[in-house]
Amino acid sequence: MITLDCRGQKCPLPIIKLAKAMPGVAIGEIVRVLADDPAAANDIPAWCRLKGQEFVAGHGQRFDVRRVI
């Protein structure tokens, strides 16, 4: 599992960081994004839908994304 600490960053920075990390992530691997911007709760699942990735879970300030493609 890869963890991206995006706490203290306003959107779209957590999404940009997630997008830049994805090419280095193996298919099936999970990326955990730590983000305290309230917009992340909507933005990360929306990004997953747009990019064909799997939004696994979101709990508080923790969001798990599985690389699918």
The CATH number of the domain where 42 resides is what?
3.30.110.40
The predicted structure's pLDDT at residue 3? 98
Residue with tokens 């300030």: 61
The predicted structure's pLDDT at residue 32? 98
The number of distinct structural domains making up the chain is: 1
Could you tell me the residue range of the domain that residue 53 belongs to? 2-66
Q: Does residue 48 contact residue 19 with C-beta atoms inside 8 Å?
A: no
* 11 annotated active-site: yes
pLDDT digit of tens for each residue in the chain (69 aa)? 999 999 999 999 999 999 999 999 999 999 999 999 999 999 999 999 999 999 999 999 999 999 999
56: CB partners within 8 A, 6+ apart: 30, 64, 65, 66
The predicted structure's pLDDT at residue 22? 98
Rounded CA separation 32/25 (Å): 11
pTM: 0.96
Exactly one of 1, 6, 7, 11 is catalytic; name it.
Answer: 11
